[in-house]
Amino acid sequence: MTDAAPPSLQERLRPICAIIGAIGAVLSVLAAFVAIEAFSLGGIFYTFSYHSGGWAGAVAFLMALMTVGGAIVVRRSPALGSTLLYVGGCGGFLACGGIWLIPGLVTLVAANLALWAITDPFADQPAGARS
């Protein structure tokens, strides 16, 4: 029997970031389909004014794909995942407005948690030391 060290805070945050990022990504894809005017969801998605159709829908769909990519890679690389989630969350809101409010907030929560999940490169050894 080996005594394995308990997982660090960073290792425990990665799956949580992936789950919250996946929820934000699904909501982003739904908001992008509404912005493209592929279908209508009604309810809370239409609470605020939003832009739809044309370039706004195309940019929204691109930003939704970025959030999906960020949710996928956040477990392996929290820095890259956080960057993709930030760009997707903020860019989608700028592209389509209020329809992206809820997906954007969920995505930005996942991006902030992913920043906490980045491991400290100086924790075990000094900078420049090789193992």
Domain extents for the chain? 9-116
d(CA 2, CA 11): 19
Task: Give the model confidence (pLDDT) of 17-66 as tens digits.
Answer: 899 999 999 999 888 888 777 665 555 555 555 556 677 788 888 999 99
Instruction: Give the pLDDT of residue 45.
Output: 53
Instruction: Give the pLDDT of residue 94.
Output: 84
pLDDT for residue 6 is more than 80:
no
| 7 vs 24, residue with greater confidence | 24
Task: Give the model confidence (pLDDT) of 57-116 as tens digits.
Answer: 888 889 999 999 999 999 898 889 999 999 999 988 888 877 888 888 999 999 999 888
Cα R_g (the chain), whole angstroms: 18
Do residues 74 and 46 make contact, with C-beta atoms less than 8 angstroms apart? no
d(CA 63, CA 33): 12
Tokens of residue 11, six digits: 């290792």
Instruction: Give the pLDDT of residue 83.
Output: 92
Instruction: Give the pLDDT of residue 2.
Output: 64
Query: 127 pLDDT band (50/70/90 cuts)?
Result: low
- Whose structure tokens read 């990665």? 14
